[in-house]
Structure 1
């Protein structure tokens, strides 16, 4: 059902829903537009409305081929909306859900586009703060690029900053999407441009591997990994590409590349990944809680997907969710002791394709067969040693004298 948004726009059809609001296909004076209508509770927050108006100039001035431009900001009664260019296509999450992982050439080309968009935003003093596949749109009407990739555009600029108001989050909350949060945000530091580079490198890792480097389980476990764990290597990609990913996932913000550097480096690496097939690795298992045995796929009820478990949550009372990619998740900033507690300081290494999942019936069966084989070999070795000793003793007995056998001195007459 159509509804008016301000005096100039009409929202005709819902395109999608997110935690911050609803995206509509709309119509404006200059033709079709996308309208992001923020939630009513956000629209009723007068402080947020004030920040919304203050951000108007920065958001309207952000123009780049790889950025979904904001045409207008509407404040009208209970309506708070961003009017944006309409992109005819889909988002990167939808493609990733369909294909699980992309060929390296397409993944690198897409991330290079987004890096260019971030470079323009950062030059204008705008930090996105919520870079993830859901906020990358693929223009299906644009020309095909390397690896058959469609042009990529970054959207939702300013939404995280608008919602992350001082009164709403104070200094003890984290606003963001756990899988893509830079370590400095987890530690309570203010977000700078480097947080977008970290998130984009996480997206690239996910496009290549099919999973994020530190995701899985409770949001608290994910936060801890960002701060304490090293990123697990991905087999099968050029070392130059891997080293660039590692640099952009560095714990220290100053060690990461800038957006402009990242875009250039990625395009230089395109010839190295041309024609490569998607990687063949499996997602590592999250570590089970110490007081709970892992639930195996074979033990799960028929038709029920096994929920991967993570470490003990940093946020007291937090509940596991089917997805930890919800936008603008609000979490308490963990203390240093919480980040240090239980951390192993090592990465969860991805399993090779076809390898049994730890804790599964297949893994137990393989382990049992190995133990039986080792035990049988040990028994055979012991038996062989016993037979050899018996043969040696028999030969000695056959050639020995009674005196030798009794090992006693003859009696003195």
Structure 2
């Protein structure tokens, strides 16, 4: 059913839904457009509406071939909407869901496109703050690029910043998707351009491997890994490309490349990647979330393993199909980030060894205790038998050699 958006636009049909709002196929004075209509509760927030208007100039001035341009911002009664260019194609998440991982040449070409879009945004003083596959659109009507890739355009500029008002999030909340959050955001620092570089490097890792470097399990565990863990190497890619990933996934923001530098370095890698097939790597097992134990049985049931990547932000909630976010999460305390006694950070351990505190670890501990208890019973029985034999021998005749007489167990 069509609906009017302001005085100039008409929304005809829904293209997609996310946690921040609904995207409609619309019509404006200059032809078809995409209209992102924010949720009603956001539209009724006067502080957010004020921020929305303040961002108008910056968002409308952002023009680049790898950025989905914002044509207009509409504030009309309960309607709060961004009017954007309509891209004929799909989003990168849909392609990943279909193919799982891309050939390195195509993956790097897409990442280079996004980096160039970020370079233009950063030059204009705009930080995206939510770079992820859902926010990368692929233009299916344009010419093919390296590795058969479609031109990539970054969308949803400004949404995270609009939602992230001080009154909404305060100092103990963060905005974003756990898999792609830079460590400095997790630690409560203000987001700068370097957070987009970290998120883009995470995205490129995912395009190559089929999973994100720190994803999987409870959101708190994912956030902690960003701060405490190092990225696991990907076998089979050129060393220079790997070093680019490592540098852009650095914990220190100042160690990462700028967007323009990253774009140029990625373009330089394309000739060396020509014809290379997708990587043959196994997705790592996520840590067991929990294991339901049967009261009558001594062993826990098979632990439930979460898929690396898709992470619900609200405990107990189903993962959003497109992992759209802008949901507030609590900033972990310093002792939690350090993997304290009640933390879930994955400590280094031998290959195949269970994580301390996991279901496998508890089961192994229980088995060891049962074995030790059994051994203690057997030892006690043996000691008791020896004492009985010694006593029986004493009753029959005087002991000839006291060295073979075992003392009674205490």
TM-score (norm 1): 0.78
In structure 2, what is the equivalent of residue 339 of structure 1? 337
Q: Is the 8 A contact 2:288 2:305 kept in 1?
A: no
Counterpart residue number, 1:269: 269
Q: SS of the residue aligned with 1:212?
A: coil
Q: Is the 8 Å Cα contact of residues 289 and 305 (structure 2) preserved in structure 1?
A: no
Give a deviation string over 1:61-95, Cα, whole Å, max 9, x none. Answer: 00000000000000000000000000000000000
Q: Which residue of 2 aligns with 1:328?
A: 326
Secondary structure of residue in 1 paired with 2:226: helix
- Tell me which residue corresponds to 2:198: 198
Please identify runs of 4+ aligned residues in structure 1 that moved more than 3 A: 289-293, 317-326, 344-350
Q: Which runs of 5+ in 2 are unaligned?
A: 294-300, 353-358, 361-410
The CA deviation at 1:319 is: 3.2
- Mapped partners of 2:200, 2:351: distance in 1: 21
State the match for 2:107 in structure 1. Answer: 107
Structure 1 residues 98-137: aligned runs within 5 Å: 98-137=98-137
Map 1:11-410 → 2, pairs under 5 A: 11-289=11-289, 307-308=305-306, 318-319=315-316, 321-322=318-319, 325-340=323-338, 341=340, 342=343, 343-344=345-346, 346=348
Once the two structures are TM-superposed, the CA of residue 325 in structure 1 deviates from its matched residue by 3.6
Aligned to 1:395: none
Q: Is the 8 A contact 1:178 1:329 kept in 2?
A: no
Shift of 1:285: 1.2
CA offsets, 1:23-51, max 9 Å, x none? 00000000000000000000000000000
> Quick one: distance in 2 between partners of 1:92 and 1:4?
30
- Structure 1 residues 84 and 187, CA gap change in structure 2 (3 angstroms): same
State the partner residue of 1:406: none
**Closer, same or farther: CA 226–347 of 1 in aligned 2, 3 Å:** farther
Q: Return closer, same or farther for 1:230/1:345 CA change in 2, 3 Å cut-off.
A: farther
Give the gaps of 5 or more residues in structure 1.
294-298, 351-358, 361-413
Structure 1 pair 17/291, CA: closer, same or farther in 2 (3 Å)?
closer
Residue 269 of structure 1: SS of its match in structure 2? helix
What secondary structure, in the 3-state scheme, does the structure 1 residue paired with 2:213 have? coil
Q: What is the CA–CA distance in structure 2 between the aligned matches of 1:330 and 1:63, rounded to whole Å?
A: 30
Tell me how far apart the structure 2 counterparts of residues 30 and 122 of structure 1 sit (CA, whole Å). 28
- The question of whether the paired residues in 2 share the 8 Å contact of 1:104 and 1:273 is answered with yes
- What is the TM-score when the length of structure 2 is the normalising length? 0.79
- Contact preservation (8 Å) 1:91, 1:133: yes
Q: How many residues align?
A: 340
